[in-house]
Chains A and B, each alone.
Chain A
Amino acid sequence: MNNAVQITINGRPVSVPAGIVVAAALARSGTIQFRSSITGQPRGPLCGMGICMECRATINGQTNCRSCLIVCEEGMEIRTYG
């Protein structure tokens, strides 16, 4: 995890260690609320292993990606549903 990769989170450029997952990058950027529920409640990752879908985010334009299972790559654009 020595090298850094540049990604954007909700349009804001950030630098994160290589090899970390998108969910971890979001948490490092300061928020653990990834989305709002259908009744507007704050939600963040629960299961950490691709089961609960609570960590879903848009990654490079693809909606509803499980951010806990996807490793950050250079230039990745991430949008949360907060």
Chain B
Amino acid sequence: MADGSISCEVAVVGGGPAGLAAACTAAESGRRVVLLDESPWLGGQIWRGEQNAAAHPHASAWFARFDRSGAKVLARSTVISSPAPGSLLAEQDGEGFQVKWDRLILATGARELFLPFPGWTLPGVMGPGGLQSLIKNGWPVSGQRVVVAGSGPLLLAVADTLRKHGANVRMIAEQASWSSVIRFGLGLAAHTSKLLQAALLKLRLLGIQNRYGAWPVSAEGKDRIQMVTLTDGAETWKLDCDLLACGFGLVPNLELAMALGCELKDGFVRVNDLQATSIPNVFCAGEPTGIGGADCALVEGQIAGYASAEFKAQAERLFAKRRSWHTFRTALAEAFALRPVLKNLATNETIICRCEDVSLGRLRQCTHWREAKLHSRCGMGACQGRVCGAAAKFILGWEPESIRPPVLPARVGSLISSRSEKSGGHFR
């Protein structure tokens, strides 16, 4: 982005399923749409690497629909703040630019929940979804011994990706109980496509040890992980490994919504039937409104796109479909609810804030998040609390404070450029 500012009728932040769907329906409804995404690719994390060889049944169809829709993409573009209503400040390739919008759709997705345990900071301990994303972009796993642990349907999908790329998956350890997961599986009967997907996945993973009601308690190694200790609450065992893919489900990316002042409810962005937030002309779809997966995000995204274009009737036609996915969303949360004992994984010596190396013992000297930030610098480092904030919330029950811009580290030049806005901007 060489100069200035661009303007559009609908700006979409995030190019995953929700953002793609929102951009498509808004553009198809005749609006001038700009979609911004941090990565060089469309599709978000779930469809990352599928632009050329789409394995997901929906992905290629949505990429094609997006190409036809007329929506513009600004790739490698990170939104860093909202300097004024109707305006976003973003950075592309180290340069700042403004996006002026009439309607804004937040489709910022989710990240993985990392629960600290002794050794979790060793290189080679990674998020399952993160590792999957990196594998799709060339991270080598062939011949590597990998343990997959944590919680959620993602674990099986990641194990499958690992297997396909020649890794030796030594174990999948799901913290939820077998009975809970089975109940969830049977409940999928209402979503036949999901049931089929799950059954085929399980079939491909035959031969890989899959433990339920089991979780990692520590990782050991010199300069990188070499061994993980797991438990089922009764017995513990050790496995040699080169990588540990460990994540405890997903947490929403709320930073931009919070910076804009959107009201939250139960830890998610509160939206009405039309996916509208509490802030006028700002919509939200997908994981920030509840962890429901790609299919749920696609429906919510379409609704948000139509609503942003004031095509209310089209939006309403999708309400029943959304209700069905919201049932799935609730079942997902119940089936993979985290067991309270996971709050005890970290010891007082365990690092919670990886950016500033703040231990749990140090945090326990404080009574809330703000005090911890002021006294220990917890959450004040490069990731700005994105990793430790969710962990502190789970372990200590601390709620995050208000968000201050920039919502991600940005170059000073980008912040300055927001003052010298130019008119008549253009794309790319």
Contacts and interface: CB of A to CB of B under 8 A. Distances in A.
Main secondary structure of the interface of B (DSSP, over half): loop
B114 A46 contact: yes
Nearest to A66: B38
B126 A24 contact: no
Nearest to B139: A24
A28 to B, nearest CB: 5
A32 B383 CA distance: 19
A24 B138 contact: yes
Contacts of A42: 122-123, 223-224
Interface in A9-35: 16-17, 19-21, 23-25, 27-28, 32-34
A47 B112 contact: yes
Interface in B107-135: 111-112, 114, 121-127, 129-134
A50 B127 contact: no
A27 B125 contact: no
B7 interface: no
Given A23-B134, A53-B382, A43 B121 contact: yes
A79 interface: no
Contacts of A62: 94
B138 A48 contact: no
A39 interface: yes
B386 A64 contact: no
Interface residues of A, number: 38
Contact of B130 (A28, A33, A47): A47
A41 B381 CA distance: 16
B357 A51 contact: no
B409 interface: yes
B361 interface: no
Nearest to B78: A50
Nearest to A67: B134
A19 B356 CA distance: 33
Contacts of B45: 49
A60 to B, nearest CB: 10
Contact of B137 (A24, A41, A43): A24
Nearest to B48: A49
Given A47-B127, A53-B383, A21 B354 contact: no
Contacts of B40: 69-71
B123 A20 contact: no
Contact of B387 (A21, A37, A47): A47
A45 B137 contact: no
Nearest to B111: A51
B383 A28 contact: no
A55 to B, nearest CB: 9
Contact of B134 (A17, A21, A53, A70): A21
Contacts of B39: 49-50, 69
Contacts of A21: 134, 137-139
Given A37-B357, A39-B357, A44 B224 contact: yes
A52 B354 contact: yes
5 contacts: A41-B357, A44-B224, A49-B133, A50-B38, A51-B387
Task: Report the 3 A-B pairs with minimum CB-CB distance, sorted nearest first.
Answer: A48-B130, A20-B138, A44-B123
Given A39-B357, A49-B130, 17 more contacts: A1-B138, A20-B139, A21-B134, A23-B139, A27-B134, A27-B140, A32-B224, A33-B223, A42-B122, A45-B134, A47-B111, A47-B114, A48-B126, A48-B127, A52-B354, A62-B94, A69-B39
